[in-house]
Each structure stands twice: as C-alpha cells, then as structure tokens.
Amino acid sequence: MNKGLISGLVLLVIGLVCGVLLAFVNSLTAPVIQENADRIVLESLGEVYEGASNYKLTEVAGTGNVVKVFYLNDKTSDETIAIIYSVKAEGYQSTVSMLIAIEMNSSNQYVVAGYKVVSQGETSGIGDKIVGYDFKMENEVITNLATFDAVAGATFSSDAVRTCFELVGLRVAADFGGAQS
C-alpha cells in the first residue's frame, strides 16, 4: 500500500482516538460547566426574585422585545414557581432593558414579584431616574397598570418601563401554561 496513505491513516486513527477521548471528557465536564453558568445567571436573577438560586433554571429565547424568558421550576415537582423576563423597550434616547419577575399568587393571578432596570442610556439627571425608581408595581397584578407611577419629568423613559410591563402582561398567562390571569 502507498506509504503516504498509511501515514494518513495513522493520523486518522490518532485523530479518532483523540476525538473519542474529548467526547468522554466533555460528557463529564459539560454538565458541571452548565451548572456553573446557571448558578451565575440565578445569582443575578436573585436581584429581582429572592431565592431564585433555590430553583431549577430553564432559559428560553424570547420573541420581539422579550429577549429571554427564565423559568424557575421547583427542583422536585418541576412546577413553574416564577418566570423572569428580560425585556426591552425604546426610551427617550436609548433602549431600556429590564428584568421583571412574575409569580402566581393564591388567587391564581400573575403578580409582579420584582423588577429592575438593568441597562439604559437615558438623559442624565432626568430619564436615568428610572434606575432604582419605585414604579409601585411590586405585588401588583401585571395586567393592571393603574398603579404604575411614572417618574415626573421623564415621560418617555417611564413609558419605556411601562411598555416592558405591558409586554410581559401580554404573554405571561401563556408562559405559565394558560392559567387564569
């Protein structure tokens, strides 16, 4: 047989052995790497939903301005305890991004468990007041924006936040499995 071909086959065999070895190591380390990544995400989600790290995380890509949806499920029953939405909306001069946590209360209503403006580039001293501002939405039903308290003098920026809540309100029931809103 051609000597060059045999050398090529030797290289192929070595490559295959290395590939199998890598697949084996990957099967051992991939779950740990995923677990570490989930833990980091859960720690940051803990800022909008206390105790987030006690649940099993499932991350799903969103649609449109709902960037991502994080399902927090019970580790044993797999029941969805809360859903955290990463949403965005256009403000006065930038895109406002928020995390909004929703859970179901005892009356089977979807209430806001926590929220946070995670990034914005609004006008300094006016629009940027939306960071850390109490929009009076905590524990309120997500579809009821009557209690929403806008930042005085920052209408566009506040509207962006309001839009974020509205976006969540539109899909939350379906995400929870279509239960009563």
The single-letter code of the amino acid at 117 is: V
Find all residues with CB under 8 Å of 59, minimum gap 6, and list them.
41, 68, 69, 70, 71
Is 10 an interacting residue with respect to other proteins (CB under 8 A)? Answer: yes
User: How many whole angstroms separate alpha carbon 61 and alpha carbon 50?
Assistant: 22
Q: Which residue, among 28, 52, 23, has the nearest Cα to 40 in the 3D structure?
A: 52
Is 177 an interacting residue with respect to other proteins (CB under 8 A)? Answer: no
Residues in the chain: 181
User: How many whole angstroms separate alpha carbon 44 and alpha carbon 115?
Assistant: 12
Q: Of 7-15, 88-96, 135-143, 153-161, which part binds other proteins (CB under 8 A)?
A: 7-15
Q: Under a CB-based contact definition with an 8 Å cutoff, are residues 115 and 48 in contact?
A: yes
Complex with other proteins: residue 7 or 139, whichever CB lies closer = 7
Angle at 103 (CA atoms; ends 86, 60), nearest 5 degrees: 40
Interface residue with other proteins among 26, 93, 105, 147 (CB under 8 A) is: 26
Number of H helices, E strands in the chain: 2, 5
Is 29 an interacting residue with respect to other proteins (CB under 8 A)? Answer: yes
Q: Of 1-9, 81-89, 99-107, 154-162, which part binds other proteins (CB under 8 A)?
A: 1-9
Is 43 an interacting residue with respect to other proteins (CB under 8 A)? Answer: no
Q: Of 30-38, 49-57, 63-71, 172-180, which part binds other proteins (CB under 8 A)?
A: 30-38
Is 14 an interacting residue with respect to other proteins (CB under 8 A)? Answer: yes
Is 4 an interacting residue with respect to other proteins (CB under 8 A)? Answer: yes
Is 25 an interacting residue with respect to other proteins (CB under 8 A)? Answer: yes
Binding residues vs other proteins (CB under 8 A): 3-4, 6-8, 10-11, 14-15, 18, 21-22, 25-26, 28-30, 32-33, 36
